[in-house]
Amino acid sequence: EKSWYHPELSNAGVLMHEQLHFDITELYARKMRKILSERTFSGNVRGDVRQIFSKINRELKAFQDRYDLETDFSRNREAQQQWNKRIAEKLKESDL
């Protein structure tokens, strides 16, 4: 009841677009985990992690906004397909 999803208003293209938002978020989660695993922390671990999180979150938001803009929220099918391919490749690369 609280979901934004309404089957009568959505189609497979819209759902694919939203799935890619999830996949993009996963890319940035991987990026953050990598940074954290390679980082040597000072005495203020909480502050350091907060700073990294804020930076990653800003980058994520900018990337998600660009995705929506370039795909016109899934209405530009050609751009959507290009993004699908691009993100799938990035997920595969970052999984190594």
- Asked, for residue 84, whether it belongs to a domain, the answer is yes
Please state the pTM of the whole predicted model: 0.89
Question: Which residues of the chain, if any, have pLDDT below 50?
Answer: none
- Asked, for residue 6, whether it belongs to a domain, the answer is no
- Amino acid 11: pLDDT: 87
- Asked, for residue 7, whether it belongs to a domain, the answer is no
Written as six digits, the tokens of 95 are: 């999984």
Give the integer Cα–Cα distance in Å for 71 and 48. Answer: 35
- Amino acid 96: pLDDT: 64
Per the structure, how many domains does the chain have? Answer: 1
- Amino acid 95: pLDDT: 79
pLDDT single digits (tens) 74-88 = 999 999 999 999 999
Alpha helix positions (H), the chain: 12-38, 45-71, 77-94
74, burial (CB in 10 Å: exposed 0-12, middle 13-18, buried 19+):
buried
Residues 6+ apart with CB under 8 A from 40: none
Half-sphere exposure of 67 (CA within 13 A, CB side): 24
Domain that holds residue 21: 12-94
- Asked, for residue 41, whether it belongs to a domain, the answer is yes
- Amino acid 24: pLDDT: 98
- Asked, for residue 48, whether it belongs to a domain, the answer is yes
- Asked, for residue 1, whether it belongs to a domain, the answer is no
